[in-house]
Structure 1
């Protein structure tokens, strides 16, 4: 009787990505807390104000993140439909790019706030989103990681973005309306 040995998958390759991701969370949180908010950070070209800009860009990022989930399921052969891997890569790139002006405005103009529970949750989720995204991107090229690495880190990234959308865009659309 012969025994087939599966290659051992170690957590060691994940240490650096997780540590760096944790440092990103910490750095963003500390910066957001100690930086004196300016009240203004980015131009809102095409939008009436900063809040509508942030709400709509975050909504775009969320829609692209849904494409990310569907295309990831396709790549892992969970749908029975082949979606080109380029769809996954480009939807992720575009989603991330849409979050940059939003995050910059949040951190630079508003800082990390904790006086309102919704805003505290939003601030924490924003820091977590960039930290877990960093860890996912750094873990992506690593060989020998456990098979759950990318689905878990990708799922956490998606969940953080959904939480960000709920505590910002959804709040804005329901409290203020569908302003542009």
Structure 2
């Protein structure tokens, strides 16, 4: 199963939709948003891709009531988890949190196959050694909004645990990426 991992869209519906549509074209079957989404309305263009979305809110919380409402009325397409998420996808244990330091700490536990985080606006994919042996993947997709950084997102393959950072082109249309 391939997943689109995004973060820090900061109410930028256009670039969020570009990343989600590009990921769908590359075989993504779900979206993980690592926070700082802000408003539920910024999801609407991305939802047109038809992929289920797992969302948390981050430190720029926005309208949590609208996110809860959208989650309840989306027919299962949107799952709003609040400040963090513990989900299973493709048999993988996935933890999602906004803060990168919290994400690193959760990866160090070794309790998760994959920890997704955001906040720093810096894309990073790395394997973290766990304190009790073993390791977890830590994926920070950067900022899809491109705030003081490139507009990035990650395509992850949960079957192979491979992750690729993608950058949106400066003048890309929906579904295009560089």
Higher relative contact order (CA 8 A, sep 6+): 1
Q: Which has the higher strand share?
A: 2
Q: Which has the higher helix share?
A: 1
Which of the pair has more CA radius of gyration? Answer: 1
Q: TM-score, normalised by structure 1?
A: 0.23
